């Protein structure tokens, strides 16, 4: 059995049966058989079923949100909000997918071509624990809408909420179209190796690379949404108080366990003291605790392994000359206090590798040009934010090499735009027309006019 423990209290939340690796081929074949009729239904009919199914998530968001928080640790309001986000705009989401998948006719003088978007067949969705219902949702929904059957392997840290998601949808969906398997790396590897046509993966850069390597042999399609090391640039002339508040919110949200957390902050030497003072004040205002308590802002680390990884990076940075401006020590259980480090330098591990914990690292720079240069000196490229006088911030934003750049705001784009990583942070999209279309094979049928 796969047991799931509450990271705040250690209590057993529940357990699910681990899927024997030897059964995964048969599960994929069941998906393949179910996919034929699912495809034949047509995109509108699939959409209608998925709207009905996903609205049930909203109806049950209180209970599912509690389960999510008990299993993963984030504050309850965020847990409930995450569940609701899978259904509250489902009609519009489905409309967008239908539009993205609709056949298009392209003509020249002599030829009329219809460009179809057909399902691949069976899609494997492999997901992380930090958004344990929305990540499965954002891989399963577009895959299903495109007419694929899906085998989901959620993180072994959060199997219960993923199973609950699948169970709710399966009250409405035909049998076999959406199945869930449970386990860790072994089940993930076996699913990647099985007879699936497309792998949609959200998780770490390291595992993403392994999956890509495994898929090279038979050229399976892959969608990879990977980790980040997002920079924040505080330009000369920025409002340092609002920058401090933003940095605290974006470094400590979900206890820093967010792919677009602010993990590196570049600020000019003359502004650093004032900025750090505001950042530390905002950090001190955060309440750390069990997500079930309504006053909690920052919950626990998902696991002792993740906690130790974060503490090791903090300790190594201090050993190398960084200083604690706030927090750091004083952790208990799986909780880490919101931590502000100053005197971080570009060569420290904490400035280069993903931390995924509640740590704001301040790197002092000579000028804005140095901030841009250091921000771009990374293999990652998920999000980035730049704060300062609007014109200067927009100009700096265009020089950043990330996939999503926020100017005087967080990095997310307007409704309808995709979630996209550049460089080693991504190999595809979440959402938007580009995201929906990556679950479909383009097929052209052309005739003479």
Candidates 202, 304, 305, 210; CA nearest to 258 is 202
Which is nearer to ligand NAD, 325 or 420 (by Cβ)? 420
Which is nearer to ligand NAD, 100 or 259 (by Cβ)? 259
Candidates 180, 73, 93; CA nearest to 431 is 93
Least CB distance from residue 223 to ligand NAD, whole Å? Answer: 11
Among 34, 86, 90, 259, the residue binding ligand NAD under the rule CB under 6 A is 259
Which is nearer to ligand NAD, 207 or 267 (by Cβ)? 207
Among 46, 153, 220, 278, the residue binding ligand NAD under the rule CB under 6 A is 153
Using the rule CB under 6 A, is 354 a contact of ligand NAD? yes
The one segment of 75-83, 92-100, 154-162, 406-414 that binds ligand NAD by CB under 6 A: 154-162
Sequence-distant (≥ 6) Cβ neighbours of residue 117 within 8 angstroms? 100, 101, 102, 103, 146, 437, 440, 441, 442, 443
Measured distance CA(205)–CA(113) in Å, rounded: 39
Using the rule CB under 6 A, is 308 a contact of ligand NAD? no
**Paired tokens of 361:** 């690292």
Using the rule CB under 6 A, is 165 a contact of ligand NAD? no
Pairing of strands 359-365, 339-342: parallel
Using the rule CB under 6 A, is 371 a contact of ligand NAD? no
The one segment of 161-169, 183-191, 284-292, 311-319 that binds ligand NAD by CB under 6 A: 183-191
Measured distance CA(147)–CA(333) in Å, rounded: 45
Using the rule CB under 6 A, is 160 a contact of ligand NAD? no
Pairing of strands 221-225, 426-427: antiparallel
| CA 45 to mean position of chain CA atoms | 29
Using the rule CB under 6 A, is 225 a contact of ligand NAD? yes
The one segment of 147-155, 162-170, 366-374, 436-444 that binds ligand NAD by CB under 6 A: 147-155
Sequence-distant (≥ 6) Cβ neighbours of residue 6 within 8 angstroms? 12, 13, 70, 71, 73
Sequence-distant (≥ 6) Cβ neighbours of residue 57 within 8 angstroms? 64, 83, 84, 86, 87, 133, 165, 168
Residues annotated as catalytic are: 225, 259
Least CB distance from residue 410 to ligand NAD, whole Å? Answer: 14
Least CB distance from residue 395 to ligand NAD, whole Å? Answer: 26
Which is nearer to ligand NAD, 271 or 378 (by Cβ)? 378
Using the rule CB under 6 A, is 226 a contact of ligand NAD? yes
Q: How far is CA 238 from CA 233, 393, 405, in A?
A: 10, 9, 17
Tell me how crowded residue 287 is: count the other CB atoms within 10 A of its CB.
12
Give me the residues that bind ligand NAD (CB under 6 A), please.
126-131, 135, 153-156, 184-185, 188-189, 192, 202-204, 207, 210-211, 225-228, 259, 354, 356, 382, 419, 421, 430
């Amino acid at each position: 059995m796969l047991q799931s423990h509450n990271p705040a209290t250690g209590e057993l939340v529940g357990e699910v049966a681990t899927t024997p690796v030897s059964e995964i081929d048969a599960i994929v074949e069941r998906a393949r058989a179910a996919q034929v009729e699912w495809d034949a239904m047509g995109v509108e009919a699939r959409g209608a079923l998925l709207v009905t199914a996903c609205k049930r998530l909203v109806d049950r968001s209180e209970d599912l949100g509690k389960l999510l928080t008990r299993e993963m640790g984030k504050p309850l309001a965020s847990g409930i909000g995450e569940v609701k986000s899978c259904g509250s705009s489902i009609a519009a989401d489905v409309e967008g997918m239908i539009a993205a998948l609709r056949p298009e006719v392209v003509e020249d003088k002599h030829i009329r071509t219809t460009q179809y978007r057909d399902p691949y067949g069976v899609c494997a969705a492999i997901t992380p624990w930090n958004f344990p219902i929305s990540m499965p949702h954002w891989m399963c929904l577009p895959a299903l809408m495109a007419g694929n059957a899906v085998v989901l392997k959620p993180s072994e840290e959060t199997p219960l909420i993923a199973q609950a998601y699948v169970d709710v949808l399966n009250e409405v969906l035909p049998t076999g179209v959406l199945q869930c398997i449970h386990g860790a790396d072994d089940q993930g590897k076996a699913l990647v190796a099985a007879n699936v046509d497309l792998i949609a993966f959200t998780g770490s850069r390291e595992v993403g690379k392994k999956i890509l390597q495994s898929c090279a042999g038979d050229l399976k399609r892959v969608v990879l949404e990977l980790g980040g090391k997002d920079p924040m640039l505080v330009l000369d002339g920025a409002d340092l108080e609002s920058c401090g508040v933003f940095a605290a919110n974006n470094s400590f949200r979900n206890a820093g366990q967010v792919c677009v957390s602010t993990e590196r902050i570049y600020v000019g030497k003359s502004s650093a003291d004032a900025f750090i003072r505001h950042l530390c004040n905002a950090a001190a205002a955060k309440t750390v605790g069990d997500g079930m308590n309504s006053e909690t802002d920052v919950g626990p680390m998902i696991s002792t392994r993740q906690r130790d990884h974060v503490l090791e990076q903090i300790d190594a940075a201090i050993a190398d000359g960084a200083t604690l401006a706030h927090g750091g020590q004083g952790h208990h259980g799986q909780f880490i206090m919101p931590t502000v480090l100053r005197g971080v330098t570009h060569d420290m591990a904490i400035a280069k590798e993903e931390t995924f914990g509640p740590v704001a690292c301040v790197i002092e720079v000579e000028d804005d040009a140095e901030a841009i240069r250091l921000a771009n000196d990374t293999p990652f490229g998920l999000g980035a934010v730049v704060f300062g006088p609007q014109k200067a911030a927009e100009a700096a934003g265009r020089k950043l090499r990330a996939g999503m750049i926020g100017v005087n705001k967080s990095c997310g784009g307007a409704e309808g735009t995709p979630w996209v990583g550049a460089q080693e942070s991504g190999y595809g999209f979440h959402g938007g027309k580009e995201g929906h279309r990556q679950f479909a094979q383009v097929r052209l049928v052309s005739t003479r006019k």
